[in-house]
Structure 1
Amino acid sequence: MRTTQEHTERPNTQEMVVVHRGLRREARLLVELIAAVAPGDTARARELADHFRDYRLGLTNHHHGEDEHLWPLLLAPVDLEADLVLRMEIQHERVAASLTAAEEALTAWERTAGEAERDALVPFLAEHRSVLAEHLDDEEAGLLPLAEGPVHVRVGAAGRALPREHAKPKLLFFLGMVLEDADPAERASVLAALPLAGRLLWHTVGRPAYARRTRALRRTARG
């Protein structure tokens, strides 16, 4: 059961922007990194396929958090904006469909790292990136200002993409994905919402592990 504070606390919608920044970066890098994989390099294909699935997990959880915590509270009191909120929900479905299509092509490529399979996969990833960018742009321009207006709702729970049911390494990776391009004030805000044990775990284990993983993943990134 939610507390009264959860309904009345003014949201920090900048947290959502920080999450979106990380999602945009990872969607772009997936296109670039997979396009650069040499035919037959199955080890690299498996590495990037695993990364795609972690990215998909984080993005899906982020959208589930919005569906559960943000849209219902906006729809109830802001009837004039119902069309906007419903458009966000439809866009979530389009993003999910683009991820499913990419996953199917990724599975075919992952087995052999074939050139034809890679070249078939990249357009699906590019389409996902395009659909995601459209959604995030619309959400930031039209929906987040509503959350700062007459409706006070905690968006942090929907925004940080940290599903509790998953293992700590994945949680720490999602946190690193969010924090990577955050400025010092944004980083402090996100970390302040974690318990002390979580902050200590991030600094001692998560941050160095995230740095190692991204160095390995991005060794052929362009631009």
Structure 2
Amino acid sequence: MNTANTMDPSTGHQHSTRCWWDVTRARWVCAPTAVEPDHPPVDVRDMLVVHTALLREFRLAPAAVARVPAGARRQAGRVDRHLGLLCDLLHHHHEGEDELLWPPLRERAPARAAALLDVAEAQHAGLDGALERVRDARRRWVAGSDAGSREELVAALQTLHGLLAEHLDTEERTLLPLAAAHLTEAQWRAVGEAGAAAIAKSQMLLVFGMFAYEGDPEVLTTMLAEAPAPVRVLVPRVAPRVYARRAAQVHGTPRP
């Protein structure tokens, strides 16, 4: 992604058309050399894996709902169960950022970054409202499974996806560089650990399979690095199959 006339909040460098945001490394790259912090940057690519999965699933969600015929309560229940998981994941992801990411960034990042954090917090508030509207629409849809409640939920999910896409783009371009440059490994790890702790054990394989579907294999290996050896071996093999089954039920294909 090429971006001109954008300031890197972690360094104060003014980007030009010769600079770009490298999504695979989660950092800006500036010709002829990369903008480097004074210390080795924290590896924040695990958040890109989470973002990619959430954005994909919320992008696909409106169509998953729209495909359910009026009165098909069993299929509506399957799709709603998946939507519940997605909404919970997004809520806990943002809760972890609110509690464990934004405060240390405000303390450690340059003062000019405060405005960027204000934007992110306002976007979280907007997403909280959109999530609540989706929850209300889900309840009405599951109760009635009629065409009217279905279309209401489709519209609510489309709005949520639009807000989420805008927020994640802002976060990846402006706040992940700040986190990589200014947070400690322990501070960053706490965010990931909080997110993992919020996932029910019964959902772990499904969620990791969701992450693995488009996630960087190197990053996925890192995410399991501290797990026991059997987990490190079995989860990468089993989790994609678990997600494929869920995708077939919800999206009509194991490879949505």
Q: TM-score range by the shorter chain?
A: 0.7 to 0.9
How do 1:85-104 residues align onto structure 2 when only pairs under 5 Å count? 85-104=117-136
Q: CA deviation at 1:159?
A: 4.4
1-side partners of 2:153 and 2:243: how far apart?
Answer: 26
Question: Using the alignment, how far apart are the partners of 2:66 and 2:254 within structure 1?
Answer: 10
For residues 174-210 of structure 1, the C-alpha deviation after alignment (integer angstroms, 9 at most, x for no partner) is: 2222221013223222232434354245246544322
TM-score (norm 2): 0.76
Q: Residue 6 of structure 2 aligns with which residue? A: none
Label 1:221 to 1:29 Cα distance change in 2 as closer, same or farther (>3 A). farther
C-alpha separation between the residues in 2 aligned to 1:104 and 1:20? 24
Task: Determine whether 1:129 maps to 2:161.
Answer: yes
Q: How many residues align?
A: 216
- CA separation in 2, counterparts of 1:57 and 1:165? 9
More helix by share: 1
- The answer to whether residue 248 in structure 2 is matched with residue 215 in structure 1 is yes
Describe the superposition over 1:118-175 as per-residue Cα deviations: whole angstroms up to 9, x where unpaired: 1111111000001111110000011011112233354344347744355312122222
Question: In 1, distance between residues paired with 2:41 and 2:226?
Answer: 14
Do 2:42 and 2:181's aligned partners in 1 also have CA atoms closer than 8 Å? no
Indicate how the Cα distance of structure 1 residues 160 and 17 shifts in structure 2: closer, same or farther if over 3 A, else same. Answer: farther
Change over 3 Å in CA distance of 1:195–1:65 after alignment to 2: farther
Query: In percent, how many aligned pairs have the same letter?
Result: 33
Q: Distance in 1 between matches of 2:225 and 2:172?
A: 23
Change (3 A) 1:80 1:160: same
Instruction: Please tell me whether residue 181 in structure 1 is matched to residue 214 in structure 2.
Output: yes
Matching residue within 17, 25, 33 for 2:56: 25
Describe how 1:95-174 pairs up with structure 2 within 5 A: 95-153=127-185, 154-159=187-192, 162-164=195-197, 166-174=199-207
Q: How many Å apart are 1:28 and its aligned residue?
A: 0.7
Asked if the contact 1:19/1:160 (under 8 Å) is kept, the reply is no
- 5+ unaligned residues in a row in structure 1: which ranges? 1-7
Which whole-Å CA distance do the structure 2 matches of 1:81 and 1:99 have between them? 27
Specify whether residues 174 and 73 from structure 1 end up closer, same or farther in structure 2 by C-alpha distance, changes over 3 A only: same
Please identify the structure whose Cα radius of gyration is greater: 2
Q: 1:95·1:128 contact (CA, 8 Å) conserved in 2?
A: yes
| TM-score normalised over the length of structure 1 | 0.86
Could you say what the CA RMSD is over the residues aligned between the two structures, in angstroms? 2.5
Quote how far apart the aligned CAs of 1:92 are.
1.1
